[in-house]
Structure 1
Amino acid sequence: MGFPSSKIAAIDLFCGAGGLSLGLQQAGIDVVAGFDFDEACRFAYETNIGAEFVHADIAEVTPEQLVEAWGDAKVRLLAGCAPCQPFSSHRRGADTSEEKNWSLLRHFGRLVVATRPHHVTMENVVRLMRMPVFAEFVQTLRDSGYAVDYRTVHGPAFGLAQSRRRLILVASRVGVVRVPNPEPAATGTSVRDVIGGLPALRHGETDPDDALHKARRLTPLNLERIQASRPGGTWRDWPEELLAPCHRKSSGASFQAFYGRMEWDKPSPTITTQSFNFGTGRFGHPEQDRSLTLREAAMLQGFPRGYEFAPKGVAPALSTVGKLIGNAVPPPFGRAVGEVFIARTAA
């Protein structure tokens, strides 16, 4: 069943700063609206994506709102990445069964059933596959006539310079679709490829031409620690006097990557909401004595260098923008998925 003269119109639920929307646009899909509960996403989304941002709790979004946003589009895609805190590996062992966010995937399913878009896609953390709520979501789609495929994907295979593994689901009611399974990309997948050309900074400095390229100031102790660190090494390379209390405990082996430097010629670790903070992971620059900047974190997530997260003249707040970047769907994932639906729609 083909729609050769029709362009796909997409709505992005839980749109955040626009990572998934950007990837879909890069594939040739028309993104018409993004919905998110966090008002802090509005500037980045509207400025870069150029689509309507709707500040709303997905639990309260009605089918009529989606239908209105799609307008008269003949081919409709509903996309999204439900907040993943309940399923995050950082919370292994925690009882999250009563959290509100467990229900957000059910509301995604509710909106699919009520509006019956031609295509559906969802991205999330890998551990979600083991949760009953995911099996319920997949069954809801299949019971509604959708062909469904899902699997774990690895960032470097999509040209992402980040060792990020994520769950991607694709579904269609107009034919069989498959999650893309590319060969590992030959270029563009190392830290050097992506951020090697950015201006050098000292800790605490800001690039005068890019407010997002700002290195967080280190304490004297953390400056000594990063100076004692080697790319790919651990805190075990440090002299005894630099060790943190957590390193001295028997459980210290669990913190091998904390206060670590990245390596130039490998992908970065998973970019988190705290990737500007040297002490929260392997977020030290490969050779400069500082942590990653927000710009570097964004580029390692797959955003282009000029992507705007704050108005010009406004100093970006590390915690606010760090959250927007770390929670984003890497655009290369969105582009690959978009291409799947473009091919399906034209078939």
Structure 2
Amino acid sequence: MAPMQWQYWEIELNNLALELNNSQELSTVNYANFMCGSVQPEFNFNYVSLFSSAGISDFGLRLLGGTCLAACELDANRRLVHEANISGKVFSDIREDKNKLVEYVLSQGKTLDLIFATPPCQSFSTANSRRGKLKDTHSASSDPRNFLFFEALEICGKLKPKFIVIENVPNFGRRLLRNEHGTVGHVEEFIDVILGNYIGQTFVKCVSEFGVPQSRKRSFSIYIRKDVARSKNIHSKDIEFFAFNKPRNFPENIMDAIGHLPSLDSKSKDTNTYPKDIFHHVPVLSDKHYSWIANIPANSGKSAWMNSCEHCGSAATPMFEIKCSSCGNEIKVRPHIIENNGSTRSIKGFRTSYKRIHPDGLSSAITTNTNAFSSDNKLHPSQNRVLSVRECMLIQSIPDTFIWPEQIFYKSMHLVREMVGEALPPLVAYCLLKKLLLL
């Protein structure tokens, strides 16, 4: 073949590769559109949501085109929020209502594409007081929440959806349990056995792999009904290595996600709230606690445990020590307690407490106690405060169109913070299901 022909085909191949890349790029959702809730539904599918909490992760399924046939949520406040945003009948206690839920869904006479389950995770979490006891079946038996996923698996067996997604903390699959028949096994082993008509895998991914600006690892158990898997030539080993496309123009760091919001300050009620957004609000701190945060250099990513001495300016004193190694005075701008006898001692804590998030990095995991300034790596990168409720929503990829009923606005938004912190980011649910539906 002549050199000119080689050059021609090389150009054509390059153009084809570019077209394929552009096609893939355009097939992903635009992050800004997702956060505005203005994306056009790409699919039409039915699902059941178990342990739906406030329906936050379900909102991602709704934006993708999902219709919730039924859901299950024990807490009345969370049911209220779910019902304000997601269609379908909502049941309460899964242990008492599972048969009613199954009968109701079957009575609809509709194809069920998905069961999406997010069982309570507190007893599996490494932040829980029972951490380190993943192999202790006696410890597991003391917390009934450890066994709620069995109820979800029973519902899956009766409804037989095409896809099953179970989301939890990273330790979920490795937890060792003893079931009611005395059989001992890891959670992922029980799932494999009970879902005998499915192929699947349990694996761990960080939500940042889906375009969420947050460092938060989660366990995903994804199962595909065998007849569906055969028709798509999918094997169990393939599932763990699914590639999930991030949205276009996703935030690269925390400031990309929240940097556009007005400044707040936790010094007083005159500065802690943005009047045009009820969710852009932070708690007011005492003068003592405020001084700990205000003395952390802005955008440093440092902790108040490292604050310089306010008397001589030295930063040489080791972390967790109060007496300045240079001038001998007590460093009162570091976390401390004054005892009844007047002496001062350092507060015991983790290196990541009282710490600013670095502006060039991702947010740390949004949890249920984001209003606590002593919490793990939760201080604003440059402003003297914790993250606002609105910022937590943005970091969790909760769209602006998500509805929060006024009945739950009390205790300085603490209940809203809890719901936001315990949710799987909606963008993750969106990307997970889009991948399955595109198979």
TM-score normalised over the length of structure 2 = 0.70
Pick from 238, 241, 253: which aligns with 2:332? 241
CA shift, 1:314, in A, is 4.7
- Within a 5 Å distance, the mapping from 1:66-215 to structure 2 comes to 66-69=102-105, 71-91=108-128, 92-93=131-132, 95-133=139-177, 134-143=187-196, 145-173=197-225, 174-175=228-229, 176=234, 178=239, 180-182=242-244, 187-203=250-266, 204=269, 205-215=272-282
**Contact (CA 8 Å) 2:279, 2:390: kept in 1 or not?**
yes
Gaps of 5+ in 2: 1-42, 134-138, 178-186, 310-330, 338-343
Supply the distance in 2 between the matched residues of 1:11 and 1:116 (Cα, whole angstroms): 11
| 1:20 and 2:20 correspond | no
**Which range moved further: 228-237 or 183-192?**
183-192
Q: Which position in structure 2 is the counterpart of 1:40?
A: 77
**Cα deviation digits, residues 219-265 of structure 1 (max 9, x gap):** 2122111111233112332243233359967x95x611111111222
Supply the distance in 1 between the matched residues of 2:294 and 2:368 (Cα, whole angstroms): 24
Pick from 79, 95, 120: which aligns with 1:59? 95
**Contact (CA 8 Å) 1:63, 1:114: kept in 2 or not?**
no
**Contact (CA 8 Å) 2:356, 2:379: kept in 1 or not?**
yes
- Within a 5 Å distance, the mapping from 1:307-322 to structure 2 comes to 307-311=402-406, 314-315=409-410, 317-322=412-417
**Cα deviation digits, residues 262-314 of structure 1 (max 9, x gap):** 12221100000011221112111111111111111111111123433332895
CA shift, 1:154, in A, is 1.2
**Contact (CA 8 Å) 2:91, 2:97: kept in 1 or not?**
no
Secondary structure, in 3 states, of the residue corresponding to 1:304? coil
**Contact (CA 8 Å) 2:258, 2:391: kept in 1 or not?**
yes
CA shift, 1:178, in A, is 2.3
Supply the distance in 2 between the matched residues of 1:111 and 1:139 (Cα, whole angstroms): 15
Secondary structure, in 3 states, of the residue corresponding to 2:141? coil
* Structure number with bigger Rg: 2
**Contact (CA 8 Å) 1:233, 1:261: kept in 2 or not?**
yes
Letter in 1 for 2:265: R
Superposed CA RMSD in Å reads 2.6
Q: Which position in structure 2 is the counterpart of 1:305?
A: 400
Q: Which position in structure 1 is the counterpart of 2:32?
A: none
Work out which structure has the larger RCO, using CA pairs closer than 8 Å and 6 or more positions apart in sequence: 1
Supply the distance in 1 between the matched residues of 2:408 and 2:218 (Cα, whole angstroms): 35
Secondary structure, in 3 states, of the residue corresponding to 2:113? strand
**Cα deviation digits, residues 49-90 of structure 1 (max 9, x gap):** 3x1352411112224423424622223311111000110111
TM-score normalised over the length of structure 1 = 0.87
Letter in 2 for 1:137: F
Supply the distance in 1 between the matched residues of 2:419 and 2:399 (Cα, whole angstroms): 15
Secondary structure, in 3 states, of the residue corresponding to 1:33? strand
Rate the CA distance shift 1:304–1:160 in 2: closer, same or farther, 3 A: same
Identical pairs, percent: 24
- Within a 5 Å distance, the mapping from 1:202-281 to structure 2 comes to 202-203=265-266, 204=269, 205-230=272-297, 231-238=300-307, 239=309, 240-245=331-336, 252=348, 255-281=350-376
Secondary structure, in 3 states, of the residue corresponding to 1:47? helix
How many corresponding residue pairs? Answer: 335
